[in-house]
Amino acid sequence: MKVTVHRKAHFNAAHRLYNNEWTDARNASVFGKCANPNYHGHNYELIVSVKGKIHPETGFVMDMKILKEIIEQEIEEQFDHKNLNEEVSYFESLNPTAENIAVVIWNILRERIESKLELSVTLYETPRNFVTYNGE
Ligand code: NI
């Protein structure tokens, strides 16, 4: 029997989506408003999901206090109120799309969560657009 626990978190960040090898016109055509050279912000909503067996002594899949702290330290402190392109090294040469941000977050958290627990990340870039990644 496995149970999934979820923790919600939030950060605001700016980004610009573009491909250096394309013309401005093609970038504008593919990325729309997200190609704005002067950047723009999103209110990102993050859901971190951890799946595993219930520990018989605690009744927990994972101690949520610890999960909260890991997300605060590793994600919120690194990403909140940042320009992702300019200030977060992972995106120096990686387009900060919701897809790529979700993969980066998953990779960071995977290092901090016991390997016997399954991890998946859901990232909302807008209330209607969101992506999920579980390491596959
Ligand atoms: Ni955008």
- Give me Rg for the CA atoms of the chain: 17
Are 123 and 45 a contacting pair, CB within 8 Å? yes
Architecture of domain 2-133: 2-Layer Sandwich (3.30)
Domain ranges of the chain: 2-133
* Angle ∠(113,132,111) on CA atoms, nearest 5: 20
Instruction: Give ion ligand 1 contacts, CB < 5 A.
Output: 34
Q: How remote is the CA of residue 45 from the centroid of ligand 1, in Å?
A: 14
Q: How remote is the CA of residue 130 from the centroid of ligand 1, in Å?
A: 12
pTM value is 0.95
- Please list the residues that pair with 11 across neighbouring strands: 44
Q: How remote is the CA of residue 52 from the centroid of ligand 1, in Å?
A: 34
Residue 123: how many CB atoms within 10 A of its CB? 25
Q: How remote is the CA of residue 25 from the centroid of ligand 1, in Å?
A: 17
Q: Which residues belong to the active site? A: 34, 81, 125
Predicted local distance difference test score (pLDDT) of residue 33: 86
Q: How remote is the CA of residue 36 from the centroid of ligand 1, in Å?
A: 9
Which residue from 84, 111, 80 is spatially nearest to 15, judged by alpha carbons? 84
Going from the C-alpha of 100 to that of each of 6, 87, 112, 133, the distances in angstroms are 21, 16, 19, 10
pLDDT in tens, 17-41: 999 899 999 999 999 988 988 999 9
Going from the C-alpha of 53 to that of each of 34, 47, 103, the distances in angstroms are 41, 20, 24
pLDDT in tens, 48-90: 999 999 999 999 999 999 999 999 999 999 999 999 999 999 9
